Chains A and B, each alone.
Chain A
Amino acid sequence: MTTFKIMFAALVCTIMASYGQCNTDPMVQKCSGKLGDFTFLKVYKIDKIKTGESVEFSYVFSGNTSYMLSLCDDKGTDMGVQVSLFDSNRKLVSTNKLNGKTYPAITYNCKSTGIYYMTYSIDDVTCGVSVLGFKK
């Protein structure tokens, strides 16, 4: 019975830890720094999902504007967050995982105004952050 209790407690702790809160502040700082000459716009926190799940955000992108989505994760590799960008018709524009390579940022030279959707997932990290910037 005691062994069962210990195992149950361990299971509860493990699952709770996997849903635990991340300190996203250092990641926000790092990701904002990666924007370079892009002006800061928004922060998207990817801290309430596990591997295999996804979370979606949207943003109104404006034509003739360049946007950068920088990606950071709690392991510091910046390769643990995947983003897929969809246009207003839900057509895939791009993803940061392309031809077997994972990019820590996407620059999107937008020509068509509309609402865009960013779907984020994580792989082998606990949480991550994405910062959106723009440049005219």
Chain B
Amino acid sequence: MKKSKKYYKLDIILLASAFSFFALMSSCDKKEKTDDFSELGKVDSSGKINNATSELAAQVIKSIPPPIEMESIILNAGAPYDLNILNAVEEYEKYSTNYHKAINLGIYGADLAYINIYNRKEDALSYLNTVIKLSDDLKVGQFFDFETIKRIADNSKNLDSMLNITTSNFEKMNNYLQDQNRSNLSMYMLTGGWVEALYVACKVGLDKKNVPLYEKIAEQKIVLDQILLLLSCYKNDPNAITLHNDLSELKNTYNKIKIETIYAEPTMVEENGQLVVKDNSKTVIDAPEDVIKEIFTSISNTRKKIIG
């Protein structure tokens, strides 16, 4: 029996569906094979990292705290607000490569978080403007709408909502860059943000001789391991190699820091219908001031190279 055109159409649709289905299943399999790290660091002909590396990089990026977490403790140290310790907004003009733009976008993002915790609206808007300019240059400006953020800042007593929005926008930008196979820019941004937050924490900590800040700086030993792991995903990227080398020197200094955890079972209680888990373990940190000074010297040198 001869098939009608209608039946041929159905066959084609079914065939296409079947192909799509198997292609989809096959790509899911690839995504699940994240334990196979043998392909890590390899790049394809266009210079992009391969799937396994990209998957690992995305996982590591998710594990790294944004600058606000380290900087939030600065206010408690009783340090006065000091705009001079940050990277000046005028410096923006000299960043011409995508590497410099992305890494300094991270730097300015951390500076913006510092300004936000001191509730300095004018400076915050000035830094936000620079963040937007760099984001536009990198074609990720769609995540920041200056007028909307300004309106939110104008309508709030403090800059908490602005802080939440900018942190959230940086997060969206990172996700977008990874989806667009431009995770190297995300990696630069994240490294820049971490370098700046550590630099500011060291500067304030040493000025105020603040032990809680010393401990916070010491804890960054764990984050540094994650950042080095992230940078090692980009073995063919000269900028990532330079950063990796610089931060490996910092790692040598961090090896003098001792972090010990004394384990105890956690306890769980329900408070106002919410589950609250109390950690009964304890972390003992040995962070001598002379080691913190060494960390400051090392991170200052790295930062100097980044901000130019």
The distance in angstroms between the C-alpha atoms of A23 and B304, with both chains bound, is 42
Query: Could you give, for residues 34-49 of chain A, a 1 whenever the CB lies within 8 Å of some chain B CB and a 0 otherwise?
Result: 0000011111100010
For A15, A42, A58, the residue with the greatest tally of chain B CB atoms inside 10 Å of its CB is A42
Nearest CB of A to B186, in Å: 13
A90 part of interface (Cβ distance < 8 Å)? no
Docked-complex contact A113 and B14, CB < 8 angstroms: no
Q: Residues on A close to B: CB < 8 A? A: 5, 8-9, 12-13, 15-16, 19, 32, 39-44, 48, 57-60, 62-65, 85, 87-89, 91, 93-94, 96, 98, 103, 105-115, 134, 136
Name the residue of chain B whose CB is nearest to the CB of A53. B32
Name the residue of chain A whose CB is nearest to the CB of B221. A113
Docked-complex contact B216 and A62, CB < 8 angstroms: yes
Residues of chain A within 8 A of B171, CB atoms compared: 40, 42-43
Contacts A94-B268, A113-B219 known; A59 to B279 CB distance under 8 Å?
no
The distance in angstroms between the C-alpha atoms of A15 and B23, with both chains bound, is 13
Interface of B is mostly: helix
Docked-complex contact A114 and B277, CB < 8 angstroms: no
Contacts A57-B59, A63-B219, A109-B278 known; A16 to B168 CB distance under 8 Å?
no
Q: Among B60-68, B91-99, B103-111, B126-134, which stretch is in contact with chain A?
A: B60-68
Docked-complex contact B163 and A105, CB < 8 angstroms: no
For A85, A89, A112, the residue with the greatest tally of chain B CB atoms inside 10 Å of its CB is A112
Nearest CB of B to A22, in Å: 14
For the complex of A and B, list the 8 residue pairs with the smallest distance between their C-beta atoms, beginning with the closest: A112-B281, A103-B275, A58-B63, A111-B279, A94-B277, A40-B164, A63-B283, A112-B283
In this complex, the interface size class of chain B, counting residues with CB under 8 Å from chain A, is 35 or more
The distance in angstroms between the C-alpha atoms of A38 and B51, with both chains bound, is 34
The distance in angstroms between the C-alpha atoms of A12 and B25, with both chains bound, is 11
A-B contact pairs, 13 of them (CB 8 A): A5-B10, A39-B167, A40-B171, A41-B65, A60-B222, A63-B283, A64-B212, A93-B266, A109-B276, A110-B279, A113-B219, A113-B222, A115-B226
Residues of chain A within 8 A of B175, CB atoms compared: 43
B21 part of interface (Cβ distance < 8 Å)? yes
B69 part of interface (Cβ distance < 8 Å)? yes
Query: Could you give, for residues 195-212 of chain B, a 1 whenever the CB lies within 8 Å of some chain A CB and a 0 otherwise?
Result: 000000000000000001
- Tell which of B21, B261, B279 touches A16, judged by Cβ atoms closer than 8 Å: B21
Docked-complex contact B277 and A85, CB < 8 angstroms: yes
Nearest CB of A to B148, in Å: 14
Residues of chain B within 8 A of A63, CB atoms compared: 215, 219, 283
Contacts A39-B72, A115-B222 known; A107 to B279 CB distance under 8 Å?
no
Name the residue of chain B whose CB is nearest to the CB of A87. B281
Docked-complex contact B261 and A114, CB < 8 angstroms: yes
B89 part of interface (Cβ distance < 8 Å)? no
Docked-complex contact A48 and B31, CB < 8 angstroms: yes
Contacts A15-B21, A94-B277 known; A111 to B59 CB distance under 8 Å?
no
Query: Could you give, for residues 270-287 of chain B, a 1 whenever the CB lies within 8 Å of some chain A CB and a 0 otherwise?
Result: 010011111111110100
Docked-complex contact B65 and A39, CB < 8 angstroms: no
The distance in angstroms between the C-alpha atoms of A80 and B163, with both chains bound, is 30
Contacts A32-B164, A44-B62, A57-B63 known; A112 to B17 CB distance under 8 Å?
no
List 18 extra interface pairs beyond A12-B21, A89-B263, CB under 8 A: A9-B17, A12-B20, A13-B17, A32-B168, A39-B164, A41-B68, A59-B65, A60-B63, A87-B281, A88-B261, A103-B274, A105-B274, A107-B274, A107-B277, A111-B282, A112-B282, A114-B222, A114-B283
